[in-house]
Structure 1
Amino acid sequence: MPPSLAPEPYILILTCAGLLIALVAWLPLALKRLPLSLPIVCIGIGALIFLLPQVRLAPLPIRYPEVTERLTELVVIIALMGAGLKIDRVVGWRRWAVTWRLLAFTMPLSILAIAGLVNWALGLPLAVALLLAASLAPTDPVLASDVQVGPPKTGEEDEVRFGLTSEAGLNDGAAFPFVHLAILLSASAVSGEPWLAEWLTYRVAWEIGGGIVGGWLIGRLFGWLTFHVPAKTKLAKTGDGLIALSATFVSYGLTEIVHVYGFLAVFVTALTFRHTHRSHDFQNDMHDLTEQVERLVMMVVLILFGGALVSGLLTAVTWTDVGVAAVILLVIRPAAGWIGLLGFRAVPGEKLTLAFFGIRGVGTIYYLAYGMNHMAFAGAERIWGLAGLIILGSILLHGLTVTPIMRSLDRQQGRDPDVEENPASEDDPPTKADRDGAVPCADRPAAAPAIDVRP
């Protein structure tokens, strides 16, 4: 009997996985100089796949709330580790001034403005408006890679890239108290129980403080095991960047067990891990592995998001919602960013870039899924539709403008965006170390001191 012409689902999954991994490796290079971003391409691929009549799955987040929450949670924590590992700048009050401004002024102003807008324009209850605002306010650490600093020790850390990277790393933890505030307000409206004391003492003081301390302790532990135990047993000898994923999951898991903010802990772990030996070449191994895994899982999420768009995610969206989305993207974030940077020493072009690139994405999906899994309200389809519209608008708006804007910024600062610091060529002749068998770079002392980027 001749075999069926229809391939088995398992074989199709393997084939698609292979193609996806190839795209993970190739697309960033192909898109480097084009006014087009990897997320846009992934959404387009997802839309095409889920438009096929053979594909009957509708990956709508409202149908799969638990899967949506866990999958996006995974992407965010991996992105937070990668962001922390690539930052060269030592944490300090003055050195991180741009970060503190974006966290202390820009994000709260954004939450207040978005909550007020959707409450007034859409008539949403206060708790729902606050949940949506807290989900939309943070800069996404996953989709902001094009405006973040370069790999460790490359020197690609101007004020704009550093500000957006550090903001994306910390504001996920800083936004969580507002998500919990929305949940508490929703529960209080039903039960009448007080919420302020619990919110201030537990959700703010304990969970933020515990996240910072827990992340620091775990980062110190992994830094000691990796770089400072006796030479024959230190983890850096392995040359295996999987240690970064281990630190990510351990940090997130242990801190969540004691009910503190795991997102904040992971980023602090990454910063502390990096600080234990800032100039070691193993930092690059960990960053590269983390970046590859992050990109792979991100592409999966965005392909599913593209499928959700063509499966009816935006069906409940009205023209009023379109106007609200435009105000959030084009007015609220830029205005809040500009206000937060008043008095900050930077040229207007840098301030405008910092204020403009408040990218919304995977983090928004996570917070919204988390909130909806912990509170009940009517009209969830419209909320998901509005959030999806804003995420799509952000990906298109920022994805199409990021390359020309960042290249223009590089030229203004005297850098040639077409020249890499140390371009590698497959045609380069082998060095003597290559011919004789070089000692693995992880076992050699660093050739240069850590970069000093104090302003």
Structure 2
Amino acid sequence: MMEKAWWFLLIGTLLTFIALARGPIRRLPMTGAMIYIAVGFAIGPAGSGLVATDLASRPGLLAVLAEIGLVVSLFSIGMHLRVPLRNALWLLPLRLGIPAMLVTIALLTGFSLVATGASIGVALFLAAVLAPTDPVLANELRVEHAGDDEPVRFALSGEGGLNDGTAYPFALLGLALCGAHQAGISSGATFAGVAVWGIVSAIGSGWLLAIVFVKAVFVLRTRYGEAIGLDGFLALGLMSAAYGVAIFIHVFGFVAVFAAGVALRHEELRATGDKPPVEVLENMERGEKSDVAKDPERAHAYLAEAMMGFTLEMERIAELSLMLVTGCVVSAHWREMIAWSAVLPALFLFFIARPLSVWLVMAGSQADRQQRHLIGWMGIRGVGAFYYIAMGIDEAGEMLRPLLPMVLDAITLSVFLHGATAGVALKRYLRNR
């Protein structure tokens, strides 16, 4: 009973503190994720022992928790990207989300083979785990509102939405090379087929489902006055359905959820036009919400903004929960994490692989020198890496367990290094502009 009381007190205090201290936290070189992971460490085995067991002993559960957080975050990011698809700005996240990630995977695989002596399967899986940037922790770098077209924020947001899904086939290939038959990859041709089918069909299924969803809700609201309210249920319903359909047809669910978010926003953009949705809804009184939801001229904007607001709150809760869990796992494995063999992959990733891959793929793009420097440094790692390592250990067992300290080092160093510098660097960049 006392343990339950401590948990309620801890979560209540943490939530209240973050809400009240949000302003000072944003002004300081720190983030909420730093606080969450530190608290997680303090309550873990190396601290107070409130969580006395090693949570990594249940990798399947950890993978599911991280999976849920990623689904919410990817859908939210997609809904923020309110820029027409024909706009050349989309080329920036596409360059980062696919070719830059491929270069990063190649560099990390080579480094792991040479520096750690790992087998090709283990080295490739580690590279696939660490290559994607994180959509959950990059709040300071994300586009600030739907329609924000600042190139650096847009590029990093779109990259985070894309590469958690596009890294999946390489993780599967690494598992297959490690002997995990669940991976379903038996040859190079199978890998190519899985990758192409998984990405293209995921985009198509997520996009189609979102369009059907929006049109159905629009008709029900504007013609019949039905389906009004519970916009949070609608958001959860669409993202869950998009993810479920993707799994059912054996394509990449993370890509499908991101595509669903982008498609829903672009249905709103097509209906509303150049006028931002906040302007369309700016004169709405609280008591008018049901009338606005039924208004054909404002229904799309109301639906998109209501769903996006709900997913943002869900995303913050997911960040808190998953960083607390990560801190607890770090608390159980900190001794393994301080070995140079565990730290080196993260250092190589942050200071060599990430900057080099960005500079290579951004050659000839509209990003200037200062923007490339900033994007090259701000490759935040977090929940995506945590999901992949938990999934890998659940699938391949002891063969991949030695990678856990390396991944935890990458996440922890990213939370503190990038968290301490992201806001400062972005403010300096924007001030210079």
What are the within-5 Å matches in structure 2 for residues 413-424 of structure 1? 413=433
Q: Which residue of 1 aligns with 2:22?
A: 28
Pairs within 5 Å for 1:48-127: 48-50=42-44, 51-53=46-48, 55-61=50-56, 63-92=57-86, 94-127=88-121
Do 1:134 and 1:176's aligned partners in 2 also have CA atoms closer than 8 Å?
yes
The question of 1:330 aligning with 2:351 is answered: yes
CA contact under 8 A between 1:337 and 1:356: conserved in structure 2? Answer: no
Q: Name the CA distance, whole Å, in 2 between partners of 1:188 and 1:222.
A: 37
Confirm or deny that 1:276 pairs with 2:276.
Answer: no
The answer as to 2:130 corresponding to 1:136 is: yes
In the alignment, the residues of structure 2 paired with residue 195 and residue 377 of structure 1 have an alpha-carbon distance, to the nearest angstrom, of 24
Aligned partners of 1:411 and 1:374: how far apart in 2?
47
What does residue 165 of structure 2 align with?
Answer: 173
| TM-fit CA distance, 1:218 | 1.2
| 1:305 CA drift (Å) | 1.4
Amino acid at match of 2:152: V
Q: Please tell me whether the aligned partners of residues 152 and 283 of structure 1 are also in contact (alpha carbons under 8 angstroms).
A: no
Question: Equivalent residue for 1:185?
Answer: 177
- Preserved CA contact (<8 Å) 1:314 1:388: no
The AA in structure 2 aligned to 1:248 is M
Moved more, 339-348 or 318-327: 318-327
Compared CA separation, residues 75 and 412, structure 1 to 2 (3 A): same
* SS of residue paired to 1:374: helix
Residue 384 of structure 2 corresponds to 363
CA drift at 1:52: 4.7
Q: Is the 8 A contact 1:85 1:270 kept in 2?
A: yes
One-letter amino acid of the counterpart of residue 397, structure 1: L
Give the match for residue 33 of structure 2: 39
Instruction: List per-residue Cα deviations over 1:55-108 (Å, max 9, x = no partner).
Output: 2523442x1111111010011010001101111112237331112211332110
Runs (4+) off by over 6 Å: none
Determine the C-alpha separation between the residues in 2 that align with 1:54 and 1:138: 32
- What residue in structure 2 maps to residue 384 of structure 1? 404
8 Å Cα contact 2:221-2:227 kept in structure 1: no
Q: What CA deviation, in whole Å up to 9, does each residue of 1:228-273 have, x standing for no partner?
A: 4451656773263332122111111122122111100000000111
Within 5 Å, which residues of 2 pair with 1:273-352? 273-278=264-269, 279=277, 280-315=301-336, 317-352=338-373
Q: Given that residues 70 and 383 in structure 2 are in contact (C-alpha distance below 8 angstroms), is that contact kept between their aligned partners in structure 1?
A: yes
Tell me the SS of whatever aligns to 2:347. helix
Tell me: CA distance 1:24–1:232, structure 2 relative to 1, closer, same or farther (3 Å). Answer: farther
> What is aligned with 2:245?
254
In structure 2, relative to structure 1, the CA distance for the partners of 1:56 and 1:230 (3 Å cut) is: closer
Structure 1 window deviating more from structure 2 (80-89 vs 41-50): it is: 41-50
Match of 1:374 in 2: 395
Aligned to 1:440: none
Q: Residue in 1 aligned with 2:149?
A: 157
Q: Distance in 1 between matches of 2:119 and 2:264?
A: 42
1:272-327, Cα deviation, whole Å (9 max, x unpaired): 11111233133222112111111112111111211222222442652233233212
Which residue is 2:255 aligned to? Answer: 264
TM-score when normalising by structure 1: 0.82
Between the aligned residues of both structures, percent identity stands at 27
- Kept in 2: contact 1:236–1:282 (CA 8 A): no
Q: Contact conserved, 2:337 with 2:409, CA < 8 A, in 1?
A: no
Amino acid at match of 2:52: L
Structure 1 stretches lacking a partner, 5+ long: 1-6, 414-455
What's the TM-score, normalizing by structure 2? 0.86
Question: Which residue of the partner structure matches residue 280 of structure 2?
Answer: none
Tell me, in whole angstroms, the C-alpha distance in 2 between the residues paired with 1:226 and 1:314: 53
Report the equivalent of 2:222.
231
Which structure shows the bigger proportion of residues in helix conformation?
2
Greater C-alpha radius of gyration: 1
Q: Take 2:323 and 2:176, find their aligned partners in 1: how far apart are those partners?
A: 31
Instruction: Give unpaired runs (5+ residues) of structure 2.
Output: 270-276, 278-300
2:392–2:400 Cα contact (<8 Å) kept? no
After superposition, the CA RMSD in angstroms is: 2.3
Secondary structure class of the residue paired with 2:268 = coil
Alignment partners' CA distance in 2, 1:120 and 1:228: 59
C-alpha contact (below 8 Å) 1:188/1:194 kept by paired residues? no
Partner Cα separation in structure 1 for residue 419 and residue 227 of structure 2: 36
